[in-house]
Every structure is written in structure tokens, then in C-alpha cells.
Amino acid sequence: MAVNPQQEELRERVLTRSGGGVDAGAPIRQTSLWRDAWYRYRANRAAVIAGGLFLLLVVYVVFAPILSPYDPYGVDFSQAYQPISWSHPLGTDQYGRDLFTRTALGGRISIGIGFAATIAIMGIGILYGSISGFVGGRLDNGMMRFLDALYGLPYLPFAIIVTQLFQTVNFWVMVTALTIASWFTAARVVRGQIISLKENDYVRAARAVGARWYRILARHLLPNTLGVLIVFAFLELPGVILGEAFLSFIGLGINPPQASWGSLAQDGRDVYLAHPTMILIPSVAIAWLILCAFFIADGLRDALDPRTRET
């Protein structure tokens, strides 16, 4: 055993050292997870522009009706079908109502229904999917087969039937109909996330210190799905808004005199040759909103779920 004394000393030092990380004491700049996400989001220029355009749209639908001098429901046939002008930036409709104001009001309904239904979809999806994925086994199997059966129902007829169950179709009826018709995918996504996350070591470690099941679900599993779910919500939003627009367009949506972009487009359909702006404007608004949502979703995916980045 010919070990030179220097080596021996080194070995001694290594073995008796109180361990790794102790010397890692330099002050470190604090960055939160959300700030990191914001940096990554900002790197996606299309998403930043889409976010700006989306905010612009929201500002328009919120403030235009408040600032507008026109009564959005007042009928004045002498003003019907006015072209685009300074006093009516988007013209007027067949009852002489200012379309700049009505489009904003319709936007409130469309965007509102879109967000409310998306939130409801995520809520139901999280509840259903997390129970199914977390409990697993036979219950999971049963719940998923039930979902498969619901998948077999065609989406829009299903939503139409729900709207017809109510006397008048108002905001919340639309939200209910769209939610009932399209929560399935959210439930599946949540279930998949929960199943893959519950195999994680930290879940086992939490169980090893006696954490109860609801705590594991609420504290350890759901927060880790948040990034994916936010992205999914923004991908779900355009579908819901389109569904609402479609229902309104075929006259099964929200009841007049309230309007949504879908019903505004329907008003313009009858006169699309004489007054093409009437159908064009709500269509552009819908496309604007949907494209924004897609680009925002793309940016959010880069920001919140960097692992699945496609670049």
C-alpha cells in the first residue's frame, strides 16, 4: 500500500467534507417561474403581436359601447344601410343601428361566451379527468368508456338540442350548450397529464410522508398540469367561439335584439351583394380573435411547456 501522503490527505479532505452544495452560497438572482415564462413568451414575436391585437380588440369591445353616442337597440329606418363614414365608422344595419357600437356589443357576447365556456370546459375537464386519472383502475375505465360514448355524438346537433331545451337563449344558455358539447377533450387531456404525473417520484415521496390523496392531487399533481392546461385552454377557445358563431349564424344562438358576431354576420348575409361590409366586418372580427388565440397559444406553449417546443 504505497499511497503518497498528498493523496492520502486529499482523500481525507474529500471524505470528511461536510458535503456538496455547502459552498454554493453565492447570492443568486431571484427569478420566478412566471417571470421565466414571460421572457420565453416575449421571444415569440408573433405571439406578442397577437397578444397586442387581442388586447386592442378587448379594449374596443369594452369601451366602444360606453363612448358611443348611438343607442345600439334604437330603430331608425331613415338611417338604414348607411355606408362607412366618419359618423358611422362601420356603417349601419337594416334598422339604422350603428354597427361600430353593435359589433363591439356582439364582441362582448362572443368573447364572453368563448371565455366563460372555455373556463367551464376546463373546470369540468379538470374535475372529471383528474378523478379518472388519479383513481385509475376500474373507475377510470368506466369513466373513459362513457366519454367515448359521448364522443360519438355529433358536436353541433348536440349543442343545438341543449339550446332548444331552454325557453330563451341567453348568454348562459349558450355557455351551457357549448360546454356540454365540448368538454370531453379537456377531460382526456387532464387525465393523461395526471396519469403521467402520478408516477413521479415526488408523488411517492409525498405519500411516504403521509400526504392524503386530496392534498397530493391539489398540491402536487394539478399545479404541474397548469402550463399544459393554460395552453390547451387557448387552443380550445377558438373552437368554442366558432361554435357560438355558427349557432348564431344559423339562428339558433343568442336571441335578438342582443347580437353576437355570428348573428351580425347572419344579418349581413341577406344583403351581401349590396352591402358586403355587413357580413365582412363580423367575419373579420371572428377571424381576428381566432388567429390571435392561436398565436397566443403558440407563444404560451413555448413559455409554459418548453419541453414540447417544436423548433
Partner 1 sequence: MALLEVRDLRTYFATRDGDVRAVDGVSFSVERGRTLGIVGESGCGKSVTALSIMGLIPKPPARIVSGSIQFDGKVLTQLREAELENLRGREMAMIFQDPMTSLNPTLTIGTQITETLRRHLGMSARDADRRAVELLEEVRIPRAQERLKDYPHRYSGGMRQRVMIAIALSCNPKLLIADEPTTALDVTVQAGVLDLLEELREEHQMAMIVITHDMGVVAEAADDVVVMYAGQIVEQASSLGLFDRPEHPYTEALLGALPSLEGEGGREARLASIPGRPPDLLDPQAACRFAPRCPFAGLNDYCSVEAPELRELRPGHWVRSAHPASERAPV
* 200 lines the binding site for partner 1 (CB under 8 A): yes
- Shortest separation between residue 264's beta carbon and partner 1, angstroms: 43
Q: What is the DSSP letter of 221?
A: I
In angstroms, the CA 53 to CA 293 distance is: 10
Which positions from 226 through 255 interact with partner 1, judged by CB under 8 A? 226
Task: State yes or no: residue 38 binds partner 1 (CB under 8 A).
Answer: no
Which of 67, 201, 273, 310 forms a contact with partner 1 (CB under 8 A)? Answer: 201
| Residue range at the interface with partner 1 (CB under 8 A); choices 62-70, 106-114, 181-189, 217-225 | 217-225
Residue 6 interacts with partner 1 (CB under 8 A): yes or no: no
Kindly list the distances between the CA atom of residue 244 and the CA atoms of 111, 157, 173, 179, 256, in Å, as whole numbers in the listed order. 10, 13, 11, 11, 15
Looking at the Cβ atoms of 166 and 202, the one nearer to partner 1 is 202
Residue 276, classed as helix, strand or coil, is coil
CA distances from 301 to 23, 51, 232, 234 (A): 36, 14, 9, 10
> Distance between CA atoms of 31 and 297, rounded to whole angstroms?
23
Nearer of residues 195 and 290 to partner 1, judged by Cβ: 195
Tell which residue, 59, 60, 64, 103, has the closest CA to residue 259: 103
**Nearer to partner 1 among residue 15 and residue 67 (C-beta):** 15
Indicate which single residue of 5, 6, 19, 77 sits in contact with partner 1 (rule: CB under 8 A): 19
Q: Given candidates 209, 214, 273, 311, which one binds partner 1 under the rule CB under 8 A? A: 209
CB of 188 to partner 1, least distance (A): 22
Exactly one of 39, 146, 166, 202 binds partner 1 (CB under 8 A); that residue is 202
Judged by beta carbon, residue 121 or residue 230, the one nearer partner 1 is 230
Instruction: Look at residues 224, 260, 222, 234 and name the one whose alpha carbon lies nearest to residue 121.
Output: 234
Residue 20 within binding range of partner 1, rule CB under 8 A: yes
> Is residue 33 within the footprint of partner 1 (CB under 8 A)?
yes
Cβ–Cβ < 8 Å for 92, 80:
yes
d(CA 277, CA 265): 10
Cβ neighbours for 248, distance < 8 A, ≥ 6 positions apart:
254, 260, 261, 262, 263, 265, 266
CB of 206 to partner 1, least distance (A): 7
Residue 154 engages partner 1 in binding (rule: CB under 8 A): no
Cα radius of gyration rounded to whole Å, the chain: 27
Residues of the shown chain interacting with partner 1 in the complex, contacts defined by CB under 8 A: 1, 3, 14-22, 24-25, 28, 33, 137, 200-202, 204-212, 215, 219-220, 223-224, 226
